[in-house]
Structure 1
Amino acid sequence: MKILLTNDDGIYAKGLLALYDRFAEKHDVTIIAPDRERSAVGHGLTIYSPIRIKKINDHCKVNGYAVSGTPADCVKLGIVELLDHKPDMVISGINPGANVGININYSGTAAAAREAALLGIPAMAVSVQGFITDHYADAAVFAEKLFEKIVQRGLPRGTFLNVNLPDLPLDKAEGVIISRQGASALDEYFDQRIDTRNRTYYWHGCDLPAEIEIREIDENAVLNNFISVTPVRCDMTDYSLLDDLKTWDIGGIIE
């Protein structure tokens, strides 16, 4: 099958190459990924500057393109322009650091999978807990097995799977939980500092929320060494409020 790989950590990131090594044995794989780290850029698109690409040579071990834009740019540019065929699936990752809870909104890894889903391509985003890991190969094995399930069962248009694994060998994980996205707010702060020219600058930081007891929430699943698989919809309509909102007589505001 034809697979497009991307990420938000740059084209030479270890997690991306682990996916390439795993899938290239059996599939037609193309990498289209940022030419540098693009973490936490969300679903941003490049519209006020040109997007430049560089074809990666064979001696670099990968078949693909380094792109000056965002992860969402990579997917959109790849599907609309660079590829001579639509991929059967887009896989984004493997990201170092879990993308769970509200962080899904900021994640470039998740945004790349979301862009594919918006374009009607089945997709998944794959992340591993912890920013330093030796278990990319294990995560790639799980991604391959989940890929086979998606091929068999399909995904609804506009939905992608957000996958987060504990930083463990695959056989040491407690199991798989089909989870929902957590909504706990982070304890955020800005560390104020002074540079060598006596100018103020800030480093953004945050503390993780307290552990949530509900096992089916993605954050808690990974903290308890389960693999979390969350279906994420591109349609952000709050259907629980839709009918109630119609009773507000908002139309009367302009009368």
Structure 2
Amino acid sequence: MRILLSNDDGVAAMGLATLHNSLEGVGERIVFAPDRNSSGLSSSLTLDRPLRVTEHPSGFHSVDGTPADCVHLAVNALLESEPDIVVSGINHGANLGDDVLYSGTVGAALEGRFMGMPAIAVSACGKGEQGFQAAGRVVRDLVLRLKDLSLPAGTILNINVPDMSYEQIKGVAVTRLGHRERPEKPVKVMDPRGKPAYWIAPVGKEQDAGEGTDFHAIEKGFVSVTPLQYDQTHHATLSQLSEWLGS
């Protein structure tokens, strides 16, 4: 098995190193990751300049672009043969609910699926070593079992692991995305030249976080596994729109 690894926290991130180590012996691991933190870039591609690739002594490759750039470039230009699976992570922090719309971790996995490969995104709901180690063991378990799962076209798995040791995890829950409240307003600051600038505020609190959601699973100590699709068509509204336009 050839496994393409990427992330959005950058090539030097602890989560990526943990992911790489956790998949030792599972297959050939190939790393293409951004050269810096690229969180929040979703599925964006760099179209206004060429991309540069650097190979590091570790064997990892960094790209001066987005997470999706890394997967796109690796699969379409740099690898002699295509990987069997794309694994993105381990993200430094949760990707729950509406987070997936912004997440570069999810964006890298989606790009792999665009290229026709099964893909998963994995996030640790904490930033300590304990959470990363637990997430590494979880993703190893799931990758080893993935050969028995045939996902529909255009579907990836979004995995979130609670911030606890592997032994403390209560199990795995198949979930839907929850939803967050509207975020706070951006924070206005003044730069050294007296000009206004703005920090985007943190994400909103959980709003739809009941039983069956990814939020609820994490709160109860379960790994959350959510199938995501890149077809964002709201199919139930098609007939309503047809009637409205027809009138």
Q: Specify the alignment match of 1:169 in structure 2.
A: 165
Verify the 8 A CA contact 2:206 2:215 in the aligned structure 1. Answer: no
Cα offsets for 1:169-209 (capped at 9, x unmatched) = 11212221100011333332211112222121111113542
Matches within 5 A, 1:26-37: 26-37=26-37
Verify the 8 A CA contact 2:181 2:206 in the aligned structure 1. Answer: no
Q: Specify the alignment match of 1:53 in structure 2.
A: 53
User: Per the alignment, do residues 245 and 11 of structure 1 end up closer, same or farther by CA in structure 2, a change over 3 Å counting?
Assistant: same
Gaps of 5+ in 1: none
Which of 165, 176, 197 is matched with 2:193 structurally?
197
**What's the TM-score once normalised by structure 2's chain length?**
0.94
Distance (whole Å) between structure 2 residues aligned to residue 76 and residue 207 of structure 1: 28
- 1:129 matched to 2:129? The reply is no
Distance (whole Å) between structure 1 residues aligned to residue 128 and residue 201 of structure 2: 18
Cα offsets for 1:3-44 (capped at 9, x unmatched) = 000000111111111111121333111001001110001111
Gaps of 5+ in 2: none
Distance (whole Å) between structure 1 residues aligned to residue 209 and residue 56 of structure 2: 46
Q: Specify the alignment match of 2:23 in structure 1.
A: 23
Distance (whole Å) between structure 2 residues aligned to residue 134 and residue 186 of structure 1: 31
Distance (whole Å) between structure 2 residues aligned to residue 144 and residue 213 of structure 1: 27
Verify the 8 A CA contact 1:186 1:206 in the aligned structure 2. Answer: no
Q: CA RMSD in A?
A: 1.6
Q: Specify the alignment match of 1:141 in structure 2.
A: 137
Verify the 8 A CA contact 2:133 2:166 in the aligned structure 1. Answer: no
- 1:245 matched to 2:241? The reply is yes
**What's the TM-score once normalised by structure 1's chain length?**
0.91
| Matching residue's letter, 1:109 | T
Residues 83-92 or 190-199, more deviating: 190-199
Q: Specify the alignment match of 1:70 in structure 2.
A: 66
User: Per the alignment, do residues 189 and 224 of structure 1 end up closer, same or farther by CA in structure 2, a change over 3 Å counting?
Assistant: farther
Q: Specify the alignment match of 1:235 in structure 2.
A: 231
| Matching residue's letter, 1:215 | E
Distance (whole Å) between structure 1 residues aligned to residue 201 and residue 220 of structure 2: 24
Cα offsets for 1:80-116 (capped at 9, x unmatched) = 1111111110000000110011110000000001111
- 1:151 matched to 2:147? The reply is yes
Residues 203-212 or 36-45, more deviating: 203-212
Q: Give the CA deviation at 1:249.
A: 2.6
Distance (whole Å) between structure 1 residues aligned to residue 209 and residue 50 of structure 2: 47
Verify the 8 A CA contact 2:156 2:228 in the aligned structure 1. Answer: yes
User: Per the alignment, do residues 174 and 202 of structure 1 end up closer, same or farther by CA in structure 2, a change over 3 Å counting?
Assistant: same
Distance (whole Å) between structure 2 residues aligned to residue 151 and residue 213 of structure 1: 31
Distance (whole Å) between structure 2 residues aligned to residue 103 and residue 9 of structure 1: 15
| Matching residue's letter, 1:205 | A
- 1:8 matched to 2:4? The reply is no
User: Per the alignment, do residues 123 and 99 of structure 1 end up closer, same or farther by CA in structure 2, a change over 3 Å counting?
Assistant: same
**Number of aligned residue pairs:** 247
Verify the 8 A CA contact 2:34 2:64 in the aligned structure 1. Answer: yes
Distance (whole Å) between structure 2 residues aligned to residue 87 and residue 208 of structure 1: 36
Verify the 8 A CA contact 1:72 1:108 in the aligned structure 2. Answer: yes
